[in-house]
Amino acid sequence: MLLELRNVSKWVKSGGMRTFLLEDIDLEVEEGEFISIMGPSGSGKTTLLNVIGMLDEFDYGEYSFLNQPVHKLKSKARAKLYKEYIGFVFQSYHLIDELTVYENIEAPLLYKKLSSSERKAKVAETLDRFNIVAKSKLFPEQLSGGQQQLVGIARALISSPRLILADEPTGNLNSTQGEEIMERFKELNKEGVTIIQVTHSEKNAEYGSRIVSLLDGKNLSN
């Protein structure tokens, strides 16, 4: 088992009332799965993804990732855990504008203890794999949306994560570009990478092996 959520709830208080963002979520994810989280706006999809990615905290419940109790870890240990095993892909790509394609892809490696030659080798390999060697010196604003997302995925993959979390990765792309990206994810999944994506699109959800439906913070699929 890759990760497991037990009775996870997250709420905000307003006027003494609890408004649940996530309510009593149970979720088990095995290695190699390709999961799509679906649901209407405000149903808590992104919040759930952020909780899984350890970017956001929750108020109640238990979360274990590779048998480590995430809810008991200090923030530094959590950061260490996700930087080791998780890669993120965002709807709006979130590349660093001031860095070139090469440097963006290299960025996660800077926070790991790698020598510069190891970094060079890894970045070169990744650029090659994604066919973007020619673009390595360009800045994000010089790329199309699809190309930027490709760089985003390349960046997410460079540290060889076990899990990819993708928040509407095709949301800002046209359909052709979107399909390309989804094909990439499918390939990656075949290679053994676990993927959890948030999506609105039924078509994209079909690439996955399982669908988790959320409504008002509750998991409907159980």
**Tokens 């669908």, residue?**
211
Measured from the Cβ of residue 200, the count of other Cβ atoms closer than 10 Å reads 15
Distance CA(43)–CA(25), nearest Å, equals 12
- Choice from 110, 121, 215, 220 touching other proteins (CB under 8 A): 110
Residue 140 within binding range of other proteins, rule CB under 8 A: no
Instruction: Compare residues 135 and 155 and give the one whose CB is closer to other proteins.
Output: 155
Residue 148 within binding range of other proteins, rule CB under 8 A: no
- Choice from 13, 17, 41, 98 touching other proteins (CB under 8 A): 98
- Choice from 31, 40, 111, 221 touching other proteins (CB under 8 A): 111
Query: Quick one: 187 exposed, middle or buried, by C-beta within 10 A (0-12, 13-18, 19+)?
Result: exposed
Instruction: Compare residues 193 and 207 and give the one whose CB is closer to other proteins.
Output: 193
Distance CA(149)–CA(152), nearest Å, equals 5
Instruction: Compare residues 109 and 127 and give the one whose CB is closer to other proteins.
Output: 109
Query: Quick one: 116 exposed, middle or buried, by C-beta within 10 A (0-12, 13-18, 19+)?
Result: exposed
Distance CA(212)–CA(166), nearest Å, equals 14
- Choice from 4, 103, 179, 216 touching other proteins (CB under 8 A): 103
Residue 88 within binding range of other proteins, rule CB under 8 A: yes
Residue 94 within binding range of other proteins, rule CB under 8 A: yes
- Choice from 4, 24, 33, 56 touching other proteins (CB under 8 A): 56
Instruction: Compare residues 115 and 176 and give the one whose CB is closer to other proteins.
Output: 115
- Choice from 155, 168, 177, 184 touching other proteins (CB under 8 A): 155
Q: What is the CA 184 to chain-centroid distance, rounded?
A: 14
Stretch that binds other proteins, among 26-34, 80-88, 128-136, 192-200 (CB under 8 A): 80-88
| Size of interface with other proteins, in residues (CB under 8 A) | 25
Backbone angles phi, psi at 62, to 5 degrees: -125, 150
H-assigned helices in the chain: 45-52, 75-85, 101-110, 116-129, 145-157, 175-190, 202-205
Distance CA(20)–CA(154), nearest Å, equals 35
Stretch that binds other proteins, among 10-18, 48-56, 64-72, 142-150 (CB under 8 A): 48-56
Residue 191 within binding range of other proteins, rule CB under 8 A: no
Of residues 110, 102, 142, the one with CA closest to residue 126: 102
- Rule CB under 8 A: which residues touch other proteins? 50, 53, 55-56, 76, 79, 82-83, 88, 90, 94-99, 103, 106-108, 110-112, 155, 159
